[in-house]
Amino acid sequence: MIKISCFKFSFIRLFPTFAAMKNKHSSPWLVYSAAICAMLFWGGSYVWSTIVFGYWGPITTIFLRSILTAVMLFIALKLIRKLDKIERKDYKNLFILALFSPFLYFLGESFGLKYSSPTISAAFIALIPIFTTLTASVKLKEKLPKINILGMMVSFFGIILMMVDGNMEFTSKWYGIACLMLAVASSAVYSIFIRRMSVKYNPFTIIAWQDLGGALLFLPLFLIFEWNTFITAEPTKELIFSFLMLLIFSSMLAFPFYTFTIREIGVSRAAIFANLIPVVAAFVSFFVLKEHFDVNKIAGVILVVGGVFLSQIGKAKLDNNPK
């Protein structure tokens, strides 16, 4: 009993926003802190994934992330009695969440990353706010002030600058771009369903079930295509460290934080924070992978950050009862 109580105390300290995520209205600093942390973790994931892909294939990496995240969250939530009971009618929505993320989203993102640099991949993923905003305006009736739309356009222009070289030419293979587009489209659909679910269940419960479903979808692909590579790979310190960073920060923390952000400020405004991902990825790639950081990327970073700031001015009109 003492051990369980100690674990509960540690878990709550590890996730300081957990209790606040249950509330309908949280303070702005908490919401934006959660959003920024999620983007920092996801920005770093492009570099950690690049390192892990040197040992394991993308399917192996995503499968292990999904199954381990689900198991750890279920155990932790059960011990602290924070695991919400899912209504039967929502099982279909959970399956759709798992199908689009992690399954389709990570297939697109991981193979796109395999055929592109971390910075280019992260920059391309920053197209997500545009697709998501258009989808949310149709499905959820979310309306953004004009200054928010201006901020999104400025930020997107900054992303374009980060994606081109000195000759203003794109540096990525077509099949890498096709995979990244799959990820972008999957994220837009996912955002609609996660918004609907987030008003009923706490973010950690949603992600636990979502990752369990994703792991089951990835299992056949893992066994057929990458099992042999997985069992023959040498588990080096570099591999273990990078994978743990992906597991803890990019899966267990980033997704619940982002789900919480969507619930509080809506799909459209939350999605715009994705423009920070390539900025983080560029900096981490520069320091860790020694990736080239030219004038275009520096100018792009400035525009992205400024655009994100403009995108959060004012108040978006939300539908508090998304169908």
The SS3 assignment for 318 reads: coil
Spell out the alpha helix ranges (H) of the chain. 2-14, 18-21, 28-52, 58-79, 91-98, 105-114, 118-125, 128-139, 146-163, 174-198, 203-221, 227-232, 237-245, 254-265, 267-272, 276-284, 295-311
Burial 76-97 (b: 16+ CB within 10 A, else e): bbeebebbeebeeebeebbbbb
Tokens of 1: 């009993």
Measured CA angle at 46 (ends 307, 240), to 5 deg: 145
Residue 189 region, left (φ>0) first, then alpha (ψ -120 to 50), else beta? Answer: alpha
Residue 170 phi, psi (nearest 5): -75, 145
The SS3 assignment for 312 reads: coil
Dist. CA 59–CA 52, nearest whole Å: 11
Going residue by residue through the chain (323 aa), what tens digit of pLDDT does each one get?
444 444 444 444 444 444 455 555 678 899 999 999 999 998 889 889 989 999 999 999 999 999 999 999 999 999 999 999 999 999 999 999 999 989 999 899 888 877 777 766 766 766 677 777 767 666 666 666 777 778 778 877 887 777 666 555 555 567 887 888 899 889 888 888 888 898 899 999 999 999 999 999 999 999 999 999 999 998 899 999 999 999 999 999 999 999 899 888 888 778 778 778 878 887 888 788 777 667 777 788 788 777 777 766 765 554 555 55
The SS3 assignment for 143 reads: strand
Nearest by Cα to 203 from 20, 63, 64: 20
pLDDT at 3: 41
Around Cβ 172, how many Cβ atoms within 10 Å?
17
pTM: 0.74
How many residues can be counted in the chain? 323
pLDDT at 111: 84
Around Cβ 315, how many Cβ atoms within 10 Å?
12
Neighbour-count burial of 27, counting CB atoms closer than 10 A to its CB (0-12 exposed, 13-18 middle, 19+ buried)? exposed
Q: Where are the domains of the chain?
A: 55-311
